[in-house]
Structures are given as structure tokens and as C-alpha cells.
Chain A
């Protein structure tokens, strides 16, 4: 372990954990002075091809309030067959199966390389995965056709024994019965009326006739599979039927008069989907997949009226408190999301429309349940089609990259408490000894439910050091955290993944260098950004920016080296050097800036930001720019307007967009057709190189980014221009008088100006 960088990387690969601080300040007071909280990004199901799950159950600490899982950090007395819990120090007897253990014959969970280990539970009935399609039929003909094809295709991707169901909606909501021959049958609900789960089940005929008590008791609990058999059927049984049914789907037959939006009952459709699963398969892995092509226009959850002349709410309307339906709709979807989360199901939203579709109001459905949110212009785009296909991609074992109904429990050693989590989760409201009173993110608990997750789902978990200043941790003492994730694997097994980590304590006064050197500025930037975005959901934008600025200034004050009131003397160590730049780009990012974004887009961006892993999150904060030219091999270049040169091809990855930008000269060459001439084959290769690289990114990315191929002067070039640091603008262009780079028409401050201000403020004693 040569450097912290390597240490951090190693830890991430093994445990899927990145801490903001890798050496921990030993007291509460010092910890708060570090500005960036002690926190980590955890990817609970990080893919570990090298980690085969063990086929037995974990050994738990016997103290009822602890129940920590045996791990490599525990002290073991091999002779007495005892182990001491490293969280509560309880001494525990090994279970009978462990009688043979010794120093040389250790179970896996005691070996240091198994700081992360996965157990497969043998008990519990395995129930198949459930996919419930909720399909909007108020689409244009070709859009609907494309969607139908995608859905039909998806049937072949589902596990054969998975249960599928279909709900379609427009003005009405139809729950399709899948088991009937000949005539196709569906149950229809009014799109304007919300129903309770009980009513829905009654109307669908799902409530079983009351069984006499005597009969009910001895009967095996084998009642699930048949109750809802009419609406949820194994794919292998009905894929022909369902393919036909999907093929026959018509556009919503109700006439839409001119000047009106189609009546779309998204709110009720979702409510019925939730109610259907709630009644039939609670606490079983299930995805509700909502495909919608426009905003809900009627019933509970309506986002906009059907009059086209009244546009859907904008940020401007929301600020003016002029969004009539927003609060009520949000409340409706929140209620649904919470119910869904309670049932352990998740909701995906696939919204494809040119205008907004109400993601702002519906976002909680995906956010709270760990579902996907996909936004596109049309279902008839490769963006949607491939994204959707990727949902069903498989890992190295041939298992689907999806897990369900997870609970994440975090246990800490005594010096630490859990302040909260930010990610696709809901609180389980479990108050324990390691729960902090101060909340950061979703707090007040040390357990969260993540109804849907995949190998990249990442949570930010925030801690509080509670050790008092006057009770220092003994030198060399370590703090430990255990993450226990119980989930339903896509193979329908119940599994538990346990990650136990430990970090050194350090006295911030005497060992600040150590702490400083162990700062993970990337993780810190993302964790701070999550806090900022979390705040932005409930607070005014400017307040959040101000808060972020203040935190940055304080951090610089704490860790910068400078002479008071002398900005030019300001220096930051290597482990902090990139952090201000991240913050600069974060301030400009769509996660915090709503200007130029619709409320839906903001919700969409924030949704993904709150669940992607560190690498992707950093790309989102500060996009990556590559340059391709005849001057050398492709190289990453500064995200700066000065990087935009005439003889370069640029490839920018913002996570949501992949932009290929041909410089002015390159574009002219291409126009002249040089690439088709055999003697200029190298030019052809140059043009091809970024395309190939882009393909590589596209292959790996979920959701599919928007792919933009543009050139100097092209209208789509704005995607690039809006991201780069405006070091040259129309304001300073002539002053600089240089030919390099492209001026950006903006009044935004550049990174240089930002840094100048930061230095000034950091060294100022007034702050």
C-alpha cells in the first residue's frame, strides 16, 4: 500500500466503499472542523467476479441490540471457540458447525481478504421475479409501435419463470388478463378515481372468499401463485399470448379534440399497479415499469390540465407558486412510492416525450423505490430501445443485474454514529444505539430499504464522530463500520452481503497531516454534491449555492496554506487540489442550476446523480473532454474553452450526453470529402477514432446517453459550449487577443475568476 490513492482504489474494488476521510479525526469537535463530513459512498452490490458467495448463514453477535456479523476484525479465541464482537465487545460462542476451526482452519468470514463476503440464505420460499408493465396508450402511432416492439422483445429477455403483467392506460386504465384464450379480456378502471388497494383487489376479483378458520390453519402457505394468476403469468406460459396482446394494443380510442391533451390517467394506473402487487405479492421482488409519453392530465396525480393552451409548469411557475397541480400530484406519487417501498417493489419510469411528462411530480416513485428513471424524446429512438434492453443485461454469472427488496443496515463502533443516507432508499425508521440525532440526508435510522438496486447503485452514507474531545481514542485505535445488505438476488435467492471496514483514528491537532493526506477529494466532492442536491430538493437554489460556497471557503481556510490577507500565497496540498474545481463545475451543473432546464430535466439529472457510483458521479459533475488530432494520440484535455481548437475533434462525456465536436478545420475537411479519398485515409481514421470511443462508452452506460455528433458552428455545439469553463468569453476575448480556443457567449464566471475569489475569501480573516 504505497499511497493513499492505491489504498483508496483497493478498498473501492474490494468493498465498494469510498470514504471522504480515510483517517478519522478522533473527536466530535475536530470532526466538525474538518468541514467535509465523515462519510462514504457505498456500492452495496458492487460486482465482484472474484467473490463466490458462501452457501451458509452468517454468525451473529448474540447481543440483541447488536447482532453484528462475525468478521475479520473480530478477535477470536480458537481454543475456547469464542469470538468477541468488535462493535459491542460481547463474547460469543461459535455455533456447533464451527467446532473444527483453528488458526489454520478459518472460515472465510474471518480471513482479512473477505472484508466483504456474501452469504446465500437457504431458507424462505423462493418466489419468481415480477415485471408489471404499465403502458401509456396516448402515444403517436409510430411511438406506440416502437414501444410495443420493445416490450415484445423484452419478453424474450425475461427469466422464463418470471411473472409478467400488463396494465395499459389512457383515459381509462386497463388491467389485462393474460390467461384467456380467444377473446382478450381486461378490467377497466376510471382514470379519474383513486381507489384503495382493497377496492382494487375487490374489483379485480383478487380477494379470496373467506376461508373458514379450521381450513385455513393447517393449509400450507402455498397460496400465492394462484391468487393473481389471471393478471400475472409466467413468461414461458403466455409469451405468445402477450406478444399478440401487445401487438393488438391500440392507441387510446377516446377522441382528443383540437387544442386538448389526451386524457392520461397515469396516477390511477400506477395506483392500480401498486395495489395489484400489494395485494398479491408483498415483499417479493417486483418491478413496476411505467412507460409514458406525456404528462398525467386527469385524476389523482394529474400534473397539467388537458387544455393545450395552458402549458405544463416551469421552474418559473414553481417559483411563483403558480403550479396548480404540483403539490397534490407530488403527494399522490409520494404516497404510492411509500406504499411500494413498504411492499418491497420498485417503480421504473420510462418517459419519452418532447415536452415534460411530470417527472418532477413522479420522481419519488423511482427515487424512493430504487427504480430506474429514463427520459427520452420518443420510444422510437435507440436511446430508449437500448436503455430498455440494458435493463435486462446479465452479469458474468448470467444473472440479471438487478436485485430487489434490499435492506441495508449500518453498524458502527462506539465512537461513531450514523447520521443518514442519500440514495435510492427509504428509511426503515430503526432507532438503534448507533443512530445520530443529527440528520444528514435520510436519517434517524441505521436501516434503509432499497427496493430495487443494481451493481452500480450507490448510497452516500454520512456519519458523525461522537467521541468527546476529552476522551481521546487510544493511539492506533481503529473505528469500524459494518454494512449488512440483505436482498433478493435476481436468481430469487435471498442473500446477505456483509462489508466490514476499519480506519485509523487520528488526533486532528497533532496528526492533521495524516488526516489531510488521507482525504479523498473525489469522494468528498461527490458526497458534498449529494448533500447539496439533497438540499436543493427542498431549499431555494441560491441558498444551496451559498452553503456550498461557505463549505468550500471553510475547507480552504482549514487546509490551505496561506498568509492572511494574501491571496497570492494561497496553496492547497495535492489531496485537495482538485476539490475547488469540482465545486466550480458542480455550481454550474444542472443538479443545482435550474436555469435552462425544465423541472422534469432537473428531476431526471438529480435522480441519476443520487444513485450512480463515484466515477459516474464525477463525470456528471465535471464532464470529461478528450481531444483527437494529428498531433498525437488521443488525450484528455481541460474542460475549458481553450480546448476547442479548429484542428481537433473533441469528445465530451457528461454522462447524460456524449458529444463529438469537429473543430472548424476538421469540419471543412470532412465537408470536402477528404475522408473518402484513399490518400487521406488517416483523416478517415481520425474521424473514426472518437466514434469508436463513444461507442465504447455507450455500450457501458446506463441509461444510454444522448449521442450528439456536431461540429463547429453546429446548433448542437451548445452542449459542449455550455459545459466548458468559459475562460474566453465575448467580454475578455479581445483583451486576451489570442487565436486559440473558442469564445463562449456567456456572463458566467470562469474557473480562473472563481479561484481568484476563493483565494481572496479564504485568506480573508473576515470570514
Chain B
């Protein structure tokens, strides 16, 4: 049921089989032969291949209005003519046979009409496209998001039940921890795992978890409790070393417990003993977080510390490029000024008055300058190290200091740095020695910490890690394209390894005027769990706010240092692959020199045995880390999943957003080793296989020509298309090599919400209040309206050419459209409701994202519009990326090939 046999010219259409409307989740494609049969509705222009252009489309049929709440059990079917019946173009004559989907505002769903005349009257542009004679229905992401928000946003998500699919990342919901980790910490591609590897292989659905161990929680949700088990440390399974968790089974009256991961039977230590109640549950289960909650923390004992010594509080080292470029752009002055106040906001733990974190300062160009800012000094002292080939730290006492103690000296230093180098002529910089120096400094101080590097140019000075400009656009689309993503030299990997060993996390702020080889420079931040920020052609006037905002956030955010993450699973599956910003020296331990609340690790699982439907599959993610105050802790997240013997159960419990997160990361890693085309093809193939498997095994028998999608994956093609046409996998002419490398490494540690919006930007019309978003397609733009578009990194304000003058006046404080400055990055602060609303909206969008999005005002038909249109991902892109419908068609073809 739910599938629509292909009717019309190409097959018989048994009308009686039309599904009841309430079930009409299925959507069909029909084939309008456009050339010979012009559309009857004047507003409908059939897009030949260039994508739909319907600027005047302002009909009442707002996107997704017609979609009813999806019934979870209903797969979504799209039908299209069988391939053999797809003679291209002109061969098709006569009125379209297949019934187009009909939209009714009263009745959600589609009514299929055999009658051709029904078809043109529907505003196909909104939901359906025709391509090469195929008519497919393109599901609206916006609608799905809306629906989920409406259906699931009101109730808290209670984690007590095994294998529950959480609401979408775009939905605001509260989480109640009742034994499983919140989806804010862990999201899975599927909450129902096939019992056998054969099944898993057949389905091709990647089994992956996207884990954000230190995720920030909304204020209404409590952060994990800290459990102190005293000197004996956290209780663990003797064999698999899993930590005590709600799934552990207490037996023999509570004297022993059976490990839920490896089934080993362990003694309960006397101090931990507790009687069981009649259900076999410990009496104190609800008093102990580790027995009742999905996420909690243990205080680690000294055994969990490096060198068997409790760690010292971490340190932050600010390392500032003071070469000519940095001085000239005003960066150094801006930064020094900002640091003076920012140092008061170093992360602190709990209610402590002062941060335990110590700070140090280094400036550098071709050589490094360390500063002694010991509180007893009247003036800071500068120590120059020019032996960059063999870096070392020239001082210990006085380099890392407590901010409040040395405030006067630090202020004096920050005042003097811009002056000291004001006349510098030095243009060359080093890079690896800078990191080396920071790392050595932490080593000497015997603490973990974070380096904040502010760097401007390709490090061409004679030193280890010296780079050359190897940017070459000619390599794009060749087998050698992958070299653009690979680091130039292995030196940085070696360096990163040393950093990780020391718990030295590196955050890199780049201010390039030209190619700086982000691919190489970001190796260390990437492997040490750090972040990279890039401000191309930095100018204080334009980029100040973005940089300072990012910097403030980056400095203030809570970080865990010197961390090791281990994911344990029930016997039967095993974590086999990891994606993210970290380093691994063996196959199981994810080593993170630093980990903050924005960093995500995606873990892929594979079967190594059968799983049991009854006991399900358990995940336990344990993160050992040093807190900002220097406390050694273990954060534990547990998650129980269902197991299935029926493929349909798998497909019913998938989450496309997570799947896309995994696939994007997989693909973005793939470009390091394979040509981009291969990577794209692999993605398409895998996706086709997933869908074909569903079609074959789960959907009710129907015509081969139909595209039938599982309900949970009905957006997979559109998202996948966005991944495929992203800058990394299909760069446009204006995308630089550095941009691609930058985005590539950004995506590596994105969480599901971030990848979701990154690949499918939000487009918000300002005139309407509800629904808040429209589909990312040019045809959605009305030239009388203003739109905001954001993807987590970019923020555009698109102004239609015929926007009312009043609106222009109240937003931009100019009298007409033509007077609006294109490329404007700040809206004037005006005292009127519209201005306030828009600025408020912008602020709230920025607040949602981990990086500050710089606003760019784009006028319709302006040069800058190109930049903006790049983000209208449902349209065909200039770089050759397919439109949504084109791609859907392509997918359909692929699936059909697989099925036949």
C-alpha cells in the first residue's frame, strides 16, 4: 500500500488501488511531456533543464502546506515512469497520462487523478518538477522540519525507552534523562540495528553514532551529575572495563553484577553493595546517577592521571603573528586590546571566583618572542628565540601566570606589543616552531592547555614546517586533486602527535590575504581537537565583530583537556571507524588534546557477531578528561538501541540528518585518498543501495518505475545532493583551495544540527511570520520581499528589487532600493519595529550557531547575488551541481538499475 502504480500512457492504472487519503504519504512522479504539451496554467513554466524560474510564484500554496503529519509507519513513495518507457524529449506527445499530485489545502496528502487536466492546475513548481520527461515529487525539507516541530516539540523527550528515535535536530525539545544519553550527546543513524551483519550489509545503512560528549545543554536541562566513588575509583567490569551503568544486571541478591556489554560476572565490592528489590533492581538505583541515568560523570582517581599525578590546572597561550601583514591590517592592535578584557572571562568551573587557567604570551614572525610577565616585574621582558630549527622555551617562571596576579604587567605588555612591532618590515613567518614552542612550554610547566594562534601568511621562512605555495586549480577534477587536501609535509602530523601526548590543543585563527595552505596548517588543530577560524582578507572595519565574537566565544568556552574517549558496545558490534578532530594511536582510543562543547565525534559500528533482539545493543561512551579547573573526570554516556531481524524495522527507525552527517564526514575524508568524482559516485551508489534495498525488501510490490522512499529517508536524496554539490566535492570557480580545505575540516567535527543547516541553508522570508522558512530555491524568492539565509557560517540578507520603499527606509535608512549599499555587513540601528525585528532575528540566528556569521546584504540582480545563489541548494548550481529534481531523477535511475 502507499505506492502508486505508474498509470497513463505507460501502464495501466488501476484506479481502485489509489490509497486512502489519510495514507497518502506516498508521492508520485508523473511525466508531463512538456514540449508537445505546453502547460495549461499560465503561471507554470516548465523547466527544461535550467531549473525552474518562477519569480512570480506567489500562490497560496506555501511549501509543504499539503503535507499532513506523516504516519510513521508509512513509507513515502515516489513513482515515475519505468525507464524503458522514457524516450527522451520529443517522442512524448499527447497529454500527460499520469495523474499529478493534487494538493488540497483542506486535505493533506495527494489525490491522484487520472485525468490529465488536473495536473497543470496544481502549482507544480512548489512540489514537483519535471525533468527529461520524468515527473518526480521532491519532498520539502521545510515541511518535514515543520511537522516534526509541531508533532514532537511540545512534549519532553524521555529517554527511558530503548531504541526511541528522537525528534529532529531542528525541533526544540526538552530531554528527560531516564537511563539513556540525551540525543544532544549521542545521535544514531538508526535506533534499530540489524541483528546480523548480513542484514546490515544488505541494507547498506551505515550504523553510526554522532557523539558530542561535552555538548552544552539548554539551561532547563541539568548537566551530568558528578559521582565520587572515593579512592577505589569508578566501578568497572573486570573484563571489558565498561563503567557501571543502568544496564548492568545485579544478581545473587546484589552481591554480583553481570556486565551488560560482555556478560562477565563481577563481584560487587563491599562498599558498593546494596540489596535488590523484588524486581531485581538495586534499592538505591534512583539515588545513584550511574544506576539511573544515561549520562553522568565520575571523579577520576590518580590512576587515571598521566604519570600517576593529579594534573595541574591547564594553561592558555596566546601566540600572535606580528609580521607586516598582521600589523598592517590592524589585527595585532585589535587583538591586544581585546585580550586585555577577555582575560577576565577565562572558563572557570562551578562557582569559583577566578579561573584556574594560567596564561602566557608569545609573538612571532621569523623568530619567536616569549614574554616574561611575572607579577614582580615592573615591565614585561621579551625573550627572542631565533633558533627556530630547534625550538625550546626560554623561560618557565613568569611565562605562564595567573591573570589577576600579573594584570599590570600583562596590560603593559598588551599595550606595548602593537607599538613594538609598528614599524616591522618582516613579512616572513614560521608556523611549526610556534606550535612546538607552545607545546614545549606546556610540557615544561607540566600541564595541559590550549594554544591560540593568530596567523596571517604561508610560513615560508626557513624553519621546520616551512611550506611552499602549491595551490593549483588545474588539479581540480584530476586524480591529483586529493593532494590539495593533503598536508604538504608530514612534519605537522609528527608535531600534532607530540601535542596530543602533552594535552596541547591548538586553536588557529587565520587571517590570510592569499593562499596559506589551510590543508597543512589545520593538521595540528585538527588532530588536537582544536578549531580553525579563517578570516580571508581581514580588515578591522569589516571583520572586527566576527573575529572578536568568535574569539570571545572560543576563549570562554568550556574545554576538557588531555582527553581519551572510548566507545564500548555490546558483544556483536564494534566501533570500527571514527571521524572528527582527534588523534588515534590505536584502533580504539580517541585521543583528544582538547575537547569543547562544539566538537563532535562520529563513530561507525560494524558487526562482528550476531546481536540479540531481546537484549538490544548498548553503547557506552566514556570520556576521560581534565576539566578547566584541573580536575580529572570521566564522563559516561550510555545508549541502548533495539535490534531487529526485519529490515523494515531498520528503515523505520533511521534518522536522515545523522546519516547525512556520517556520509558527509565519510566523503570529506574520502577526498584525501580518492578523486572527488569517485567519492561522489560512492556516495550516490551507497545511497541508491540503501533505497533499493528498501524498495526490494520492505515496500509492497509495485511497479519498478516507481520511486519509493522510506518515510525516515524521504529527504535523503535532497540532503545527499547538497553534500554532493558542496564546495568540497564540487567546487565553483570562486571557491579557493583554502576554502575547500577549511570547510572540509570544519565539517569533520560538526554535529548533526550543524551539518543539517550547513548543507541545507535556512531561507527565511521577513514578511511572513509563519512558517518561518522556505525552500532554498530561487523560485521561492519574491522580488517584493526580503529574505535571510544562513547556513551556520554565512548569513545573507537578500533584498528584492521591488521591496516597498517603507521597508527599505525602516531597515536601511535610505529612501530607495538603489541606495542600499550592496555588501553591507551591518544594519543600521533604527528605532522601528521592523528594524528591531530583523536585527533581533539576526542576533538570535547568530546565537544559535557556534561561529559568528557575518551579515552580507545582497540586492537582487546585483553582482553579489551570485554568492547568495550559491546557497540556494535546490537549484542547479553554476559549478554543475544538480538541482533537487535532477538529482532525484538520477537517484531514481540508479535505484532502478540496482533493482533490475
A residues sitting closer than 8 Å to B (CB atoms) are 172, 174, 177, 182-190, 193, 195, 202-205, 248, 250, 253-255
A182-B379, A184-B379 known; A255+B386 contact, CB < 8 A: no
Provide the residues of chain A in CB contact with B379, threshold 8 Å.
Answer: 182-184, 248
A188-B370, A190-B387, A203-B387 known; A183+B396 contact, CB < 8 A: no
User: Could you tell me which residues of chain B, from 395 to 414, have a CB within 8 Å of some CB in chain A?
Assistant: 395-398, 413
Please name 7 further chain A to chain B contacts, defined as beta carbons within 8 Å, in addition to the given A183-B381, A254-B395, sorted by A numbering: A184-B382, A187-B385, A189-B385, A190-B392, A203-B367, A205-B386, A248-B379
- CB pair B382–A183 under 8 Å, yes or no, is yes
Provide the residues of chain B in CB contact with A182, threshold 8 Å.
Answer: 379, 416, 419-420
Alpha-carbon distance between A174 and B383 when the two chains are bound, in angstroms: 8
- CB pair A253–B397 under 8 Å, yes or no, is yes
The 6 closest A-B pairs by CB, nearest first: A188-B394, A253-B397, A203-B386, A185-B382, A187-B384, A188-B383
Interface residue B866 (Cβ < 8 Å from any Cβ of A): no
A185-B384, A188-B383, A188-B384 known; A253+B390 contact, CB < 8 A: no
Provide the residues of chain B in CB contact with A195, threshold 8 Å.
Answer: 387
* B372 (CB) vs chain A CBs: closest residue: A253
Provide the residues of chain B in CB contact with A193, threshold 8 Å.
Answer: 387, 390
Interface residue B829 (Cβ < 8 Å from any Cβ of A): no
A183-B416, A184-B379 known; A253+B385 contact, CB < 8 A: no
A182-B416, A248-B378 known; A187+B396 contact, CB < 8 A: no
Provide the residues of chain A in CB contact with B420, threshold 8 Å.
Answer: 182-183
- CB pair A253–B387 under 8 Å, yes or no, is no
Alpha-carbon distance between A189 and B377 when the two chains are bound, in angstroms: 22
Of the listed residues A177, A193, A253, A255, the one surrounded by the most CB atoms of chain B closer than 10 A to its CB is A253
Alpha-carbon distance between A248 and B381 when the two chains are bound, in angstroms: 10
Provide the residues of chain A in CB contact with B394, threshold 8 Å.
Answer: 172, 174, 188
B436 to chain A, nearest CB (A): 13
Provide the residues of chain A in CB contact with B419, threshold 8 Å.
Answer: 182
Interface residue B380 (Cβ < 8 Å from any Cβ of A): yes
A-B contact pairs, 17 of them (CB 8 A): A172-B395, A182-B420, A183-B420, A185-B369, A185-B382, A185-B383, A185-B384, A186-B381, A186-B382, A188-B395, A190-B387, A195-B387, A248-B377, A248-B381, A253-B398, A254-B396, A255-B397
- CB pair B386–A187 under 8 Å, yes or no, is yes
B14 to chain A, nearest CB (A): 86
Alpha-carbon distance between A250 and B399 when the two chains are bound, in angstroms: 14
Provide the residues of chain B in CB contact with A255, threshold 8 Å.
Answer: 396-397
Alpha-carbon distance between A664 and B225 when the two chains are bound, in angstroms: 84
**Which of A177, A190, A205, A250 has a CB less than 8 Å from the CB of B390?**
A190
Binary contact readout B881-897 vs A (1 if CB under 8 angstroms, 0 otherwise): 00000000000000000
B360 to chain A, nearest CB (A): 13
Provide the residues of chain B in CB contact with A172, threshold 8 Å.
Answer: 392, 394-395
- CB pair A183–B413 under 8 Å, yes or no, is yes
Alpha-carbon distance between A255 and B377 when the two chains are bound, in angstroms: 18
- CB pair A253–B386 under 8 Å, yes or no, is no
* B368 (CB) vs chain A CBs: closest residue: A188
Alpha-carbon distance between A195 and B392 when the two chains are bound, in angstroms: 15
* A247 (CB) vs chain B CBs: closest residue: B378
* A175 (CB) vs chain B CBs: closest residue: B384
B788 to chain A, nearest CB (A): 47
- CB pair A184–B396 under 8 Å, yes or no, is no
Alpha-carbon distance between A187 and B367 when the two chains are bound, in angstroms: 10
A174-B394, A253-B398 known; A184+B387 contact, CB < 8 A: no
Provide the residues of chain B in CB contact with A253, threshold 8 Å.
Answer: 372, 395-398
Of the listed residues B380, B385, B394, the one surrounded by the most CB atoms of chain A closer than 10 A to its CB is B394
Alpha-carbon distance between A189 and B388 when the two chains are bound, in angstroms: 10
Alpha-carbon distance between A195 and B390 when the two chains are bound, in angstroms: 12
Alpha-carbon distance between A183 and B382 when the two chains are bound, in angstroms: 7
Binary contact readout B752-777 vs A (1 if CB under 8 angstroms, 0 otherwise): 00000000000000000000000000
Provide the residues of chain A in CB contact with B398, threshold 8 Å.
Answer: 253
A275 to chain B, nearest CB (A): 13
Alpha-carbon distance between A187 and B392 when the two chains are bound, in angstroms: 12
**Which of B381, B386, B395 has a CB less than 8 Å from the CB of A204?**
B386
Alpha-carbon distance between A183 and B361 when the two chains are bound, in angstroms: 14
Alpha-carbon distance between A189 and B370 when the two chains are bound, in angstroms: 12
Provide the residues of chain A in CB contact with B383, threshold 8 Å.
Answer: 174, 185-188
* A245 (CB) vs chain B CBs: closest residue: B381
- CB pair A202–B386 under 8 Å, yes or no, is yes
Alpha-carbon distance between A530 and B390 when the two chains are bound, in angstroms: 46
Alpha-carbon distance between A182 and B409 when the two chains are bound, in angstroms: 12
* B444 (CB) vs chain A CBs: closest residue: A254
Provide the residues of chain B in CB contact with A184, threshold 8 Å.
Answer: 379, 381-382
Alpha-carbon distance between A185 and B398 when the two chains are bound, in angstroms: 15
**Which of B380, B382, B387, B416 has a CB less than 8 Å from the CB of A189?**
B387
B398 to chain A, nearest CB (A): 6
Of the listed residues A172, A177, A188, A193, the one surrounded by the most CB atoms of chain B closer than 10 A to its CB is A188
Alpha-carbon distance between A193 and B392 when the two chains are bound, in angstroms: 11
B440 to chain A, nearest CB (A): 11
* B426 (CB) vs chain A CBs: closest residue: A205
Alpha-carbon distance between A740 and B748 when the two chains are bound, in angstroms: 98
Provide the residues of chain A in CB contact with B367, threshold 8 Å.
Answer: 203, 205
Provide the residues of chain B in CB contact with A190, threshold 8 Å.
Answer: 387, 390, 392
A253 to chain B, nearest CB (A): 4
* B381 (CB) vs chain A CBs: closest residue: A184
Alpha-carbon distance between A215 and B384 when the two chains are bound, in angstroms: 32
* A187 (CB) vs chain B CBs: closest residue: B384
Alpha-carbon distance between A174 and B386 when the two chains are bound, in angstroms: 11
A67 to chain B, nearest CB (A): 46
Provide the residues of chain A in CB contact with B397, threshold 8 Å.
Answer: 253-255
Alpha-carbon distance between A188 and B387 when the two chains are bound, in angstroms: 8
Provide the residues of chain B in CB contact with A202, threshold 8 Å.
Answer: 386
* B420 (CB) vs chain A CBs: closest residue: A183
Alpha-carbon distance between A185 and B387 when the two chains are bound, in angstroms: 16
A178 to chain B, nearest CB (A): 13
B292 to chain A, nearest CB (A): 47
Alpha-carbon distance between A187 and B370 when the two chains are bound, in angstroms: 10
B554 to chain A, nearest CB (A): 27
- CB pair A186–B387 under 8 Å, yes or no, is no
**Which of A183, A188, A205 has a CB less than 8 Å from the CB of B380?**
A183
Provide the residues of chain A in CB contact with B387, threshold 8 Å.
Answer: 189-190, 193, 195, 203
Provide the residues of chain B in CB contact with A189, threshold 8 Å.
Answer: 385, 387
B464 to chain A, nearest CB (A): 15
* A185 (CB) vs chain B CBs: closest residue: B382
B875 to chain A, nearest CB (A): 55
Provide the residues of chain A in CB contact with B370, threshold 8 Å.
Answer: 188
Provide the residues of chain B in CB contact with A185, threshold 8 Å.
Answer: 369, 381-384
B142 to chain A, nearest CB (A): 58
**Which of A183, A188, A254 has a CB less than 8 Å from the CB of B385?**
A188
Alpha-carbon distance between A589 and B367 when the two chains are bound, in angstroms: 54
B370 to chain A, nearest CB (A): 7
Alpha-carbon distance between A722 and B416 when the two chains are bound, in angstroms: 62
Provide the residues of chain A in CB contact with B385, threshold 8 Å.
Answer: 187-189
- CB pair B384–A186 under 8 Å, yes or no, is yes
User: Could you tell me which residues of chain B, from 330 to 388, have a CB within 8 Å of some CB in chain A?
Assistant: 367, 369-370, 372, 374, 377-387
Provide the residues of chain A in CB contact with B369, threshold 8 Å.
Answer: 185
* A254 (CB) vs chain B CBs: closest residue: B396
Provide the residues of chain A in CB contact with B384, threshold 8 Å.
Answer: 177, 185-188
B67 to chain A, nearest CB (A): 67
B766 to chain A, nearest CB (A): 52
Provide the residues of chain A in CB contact with B395, threshold 8 Å.
Answer: 172, 188, 253-254
Alpha-carbon distance between A202 and B392 when the two chains are bound, in angstroms: 17
* B388 (CB) vs chain A CBs: closest residue: A203
* B382 (CB) vs chain A CBs: closest residue: A185
Alpha-carbon distance between A205 and B428 when the two chains are bound, in angstroms: 14
B199 to chain A, nearest CB (A): 61
B216 to chain A, nearest CB (A): 38
B414 to chain A, nearest CB (A): 11
* B394 (CB) vs chain A CBs: closest residue: A188
Binary contact readout B170-203 vs A (1 if CB under 8 angstroms, 0 otherwise): 0000000000000000000000000000000000
